[in-house]
Amino acid sequence: MQEYTCFNKLFEASVKENWDREALSNYKGATLTYGELAGRIAQLQAAFATHGVGRGDKIALCSRNQANWAVCFLAAITYGAVPVPLLHEFKPENVHFLVNHSDARLLFVDDQIWENLNEAEMPELAAMVQMSTMFETFAPDAPGEDFGPESVEYYDAPLDDLALINYTSGTSGFSKGVMLSHRAVACNIRFAGTTAEPQMNCESEVVAMLPSAHMYGLMFELLFEMTIGAHVHFLTRVPSPKIIMQAFADIHPDIIIAVPLIIEKVYKSQIKPIADRTKAYRYVPILSQTIRKKIREGLIAAFGGRFEEIILGGAAFNPEVEAFLREIHFPFTVGYGMTECCPIITYEKWYRTRKGSCGKAIPGCEIRIDSINPHKVPGEVQVKGDNVFMGYYKNRQATKASFTNDDWFKTGDMGIIDDDGYLYLRGRSKCMILGPSGQNIYPEELEAVINNFNYIVESLVIEDGGSLTAIVYPDYHQAELDGLSGEELEERLTATLPDINKLLPGYAAIRKMEFIPEDFERTPKRSIKRYLYQR
């Protein structure tokens, strides 16, 4: 195992060095400097002690993205307590259950969630605290005037101690408490600090639009940034494409962490119509170069104009969108990770990555493919390294089932790996469908083809009585603008089935389409909750 410096000490040094610099902002709202952040952390930690909370005790947080969420998390982890981020999309009964399951002593919530919770359902809590008023009610005693950089000293946690518990929000429907060590956190921070190019620093700006309670957003939109003195801007509202693009225009972030859906929506609504109109000219060398350059410049400007690269993760990326963006040399890359790996597993810089790949294993991590021929025959991706979790909280059976006999973590994802170590994912092993002659069918690959057709927002391919059905969420709004009724739209989409099947292997032909009037139910990272639609 490699040696690292734990997050708490990296953050402590950053606070002292960047005392007067801006640390956290609510977009179009209040801002905290690193010194003010340290003062609020000290204020909360004094209240922790007053309420009998000690090192190793659990502190749950359930809120939309905001600066106060970050203050609570940072106060807990640097105190030596164990923060337990809970996704604010969880239903109240789920929050009650997870607070109890995690043995949390404190629960911090925002106003919207507060109204729907019942403290009596969580009898072991010492206090349930509203984030909006916590410095008036829970922690009213601010540090004295002599509080300065020399006052800051955070708990130097042993690397193999539990740092946080993060409950999963995947597509299977059952949340498990992922126990992540300080070593796993430090491994991810070192990766980020040695990989960013040019190196991010105390002048860097970042827009936090992913859920902070999810490891992808928590690690790469907050924790790493806090160790280098960067400025994090929380959107604090539903991250619609319109709001995101406005924030990018205002803040000009240095790096963008996103899920593929954001890029895909921009491509489908703004880029694809231009690309289709100019398709004939793209094969004329001079015109092709001019058109590609114009589209690339416009897209870079739309994302703030200053970023080094966009790092995509959390879901599969549409192959057509990826191919076009690579054609115009747009600076993006696709990584791969899981909550259980805190979260990053593979990554490569945008100018070195390969089409269809999600990069190579990060330093401190190894990957292997459980296959007779890992270069050609897909098998389960398995992981070993400093980033791998300690197990599932109070769930030995699930922990044991997640590891091989020689202690490799079983991701449940299928993939192949090339001779140079680049990983190519094929889909989830749980989602794989067995074809009529034993072929492995990965529905994500079929859905990527279907989603490229006009008026299809999203699709989900399921096995239905021995054949394949595509459940489709159509773009009824755009169809109405184009003069099509809902019934006419569905007839038009059904008529595209032969064209869709021409692009698919014969054993993976779609037999029928079904339509849903509203978007699929999704996890906070925008993956479809597949288990809700299986038959």
* CATH code (residue 445): 3.30.300.30
Residue 62 lies in a domain: yes
Can you read off the two tokens belonging to residue 298?
């416009």
- Maximal CA-CA distance, the chain: 75
pLDDT tens profile 405-460: 999 999 989 999 999 999 999 877 777 787 765 667 878 888 888 998 989 999 99
Residue 534: the pLDDT is 82
> Do the domain assignments include residue 354?
yes
Same-domain check for residues 398 and 499: no
In a 3-state reduction of DSSP, which class is residue 61? strand
CATH code, domain with 125: 3.40.50.980
Q: Is 216 within a domain?
A: no
Domain boundary among 180, 199, 218: 199
Is residue 241 domain-resident? no
Query: Tokens 């902070």 — which residue?
Result: 212
Nearest Cα neighbor of 324 from 300, 292, 365 is: 292
Residues in the chain: 535
440 and 411: one domain? Answer: no
User: Residue 232: what pLDDT?
Assistant: 98
pLDDT for residue 295: 86
Assigned token pair, 352: 């070195």
Domain range for residue 378? 256-306+309-428
Residue 171 is predicted with a pLDDT of 47
Report the predicted TM-score, pTM, of the whole model to 2 decimal places. Answer: 0.85
Domain identity same for 27 and 168? yes
The pLDDT assigned to 113 comes to 92
- Half-sphere exposure of residue 132, counting CA atoms within 13 Å on the CB side? 9
CA–CA separation, 38 and 323 (whole Å): 45
Asked, for residue 214, whether it belongs to a domain, the answer is no
Judge if 517 and 489 occupy the same domain: yes
Residues 118, 53: Cα–Cα separation, whole Å:
21
Question: Does residue 462 lie in a domain region?
Answer: yes
Measured between alpha carbons, how far is 487 from 468 in angstroms, rounded to an integer?
22
Burial letters 136-154, b for 16+ CB under 10 A, else e: eebbeeeeeeeeeeeebeb
E strand residue ranges, 475-534 = 510-515
- List all residues 6 or more positions away from 51 whose beta carbon is below 8 Å from its beta carbon: 105, 106, 126, 127
| Rounded Cα gap, residues 497 and 19, in angstroms | 61
If phi > 0 it is left, if psi is from -120 to 50 it is alpha, else beta; for residue 25 that is: beta
pLDDT digits (tens, 9 = 90+) for 113-163: 999 999 999 999 999 999 999 999 999 999 999 999 999 999 999 999 999
Which pLDDT score is estimated for 283?
58
Quote the Cα angle for 512-518-519, to 5°. 85
Residues 6+ apart with CB under 8 A from 353: 333, 334, 359, 422
| Residue 240 pLDDT | 78
**CA gap 338, 341 in Å, rounded:** 5
Question: Residue 338 domain-assigned?
Answer: yes
Tokens of 496: 């595209």
Are 394 and 486 found together in one domain? no
Q: Examine the fold and report which residue of 406, 428, 450 is the final residue of a domain before the chain moves on.
A: 428
Is the domain of 98 the same as that of 115?
A: yes
* pLDDT recorded at residue 271: 76
- Whether residues 478 and 406 share a domain: the answer is no
Output the six-digit token pair for 506. 């014969």
Q: How far apart are CA 156 and CA 140, in angstroms?
A: 26
* Whether the Cβ atoms of residue 39 and residue 147 lie closer than 8 Å to each other: yes
**Looking at 183, 199, 215, which one is the last position of a domain?**
199
Pick the closest to residue 386 from 159, 222, 164 (CA basis).
159
Please give the tally of structural domains in the chain. Answer: 3
Q: Quote the CA–CA distance of 225 and 74 in Å, as a whole number.
A: 12
State residue 61 phi and psi, 5-degree precision.
Answer: -130, 130
* Rounded distance between C-alpha atoms, residue 382 and residue 275, angstroms: 39
| Residues 185, 313 within the same domain | no
Give whole-number Cα distances, 439 to 70, 80, 220, 524, in Å: 47, 51, 38, 32
State which residues of the chain have pLDDT below 50: 171-172
**Residues 75, 44 contacting (CB under 8 angstroms):** yes
- In a shared domain, residues 442 and 502: yes
CA distance 507 to 463: 12
Instruction: Find the CATH number of the domain harbouring 324.
Output: 3.40.50.12780
The DSSP result for 373-411, as a single string, is STTTS-EEEEEEETTS--EETT-HHHHHHTB-TTS-EEE
| 462 neighbors 534 (Cβ within 8 angstroms) | yes
User: Does one domain contain both 296 and 348?
Assistant: yes
Tokens of 201: 């620093």
- Tokens at residue 343, please? 């979260």
CA gap 332, 267 in Å, rounded: 13
pLDDT of 522 reads 79
Same domain, 19 and 137: yes
- Token output for 353: 């990555």
Say if 164 falls within a structural domain. yes
Are 160 and 278 in the same domain? no
Please give the Cα distance from 495 to 117 (Å, whole number): 48
Predicted local distance difference test score (pLDDT) of residue 321: 87
pLDDT for 444 equals: 83
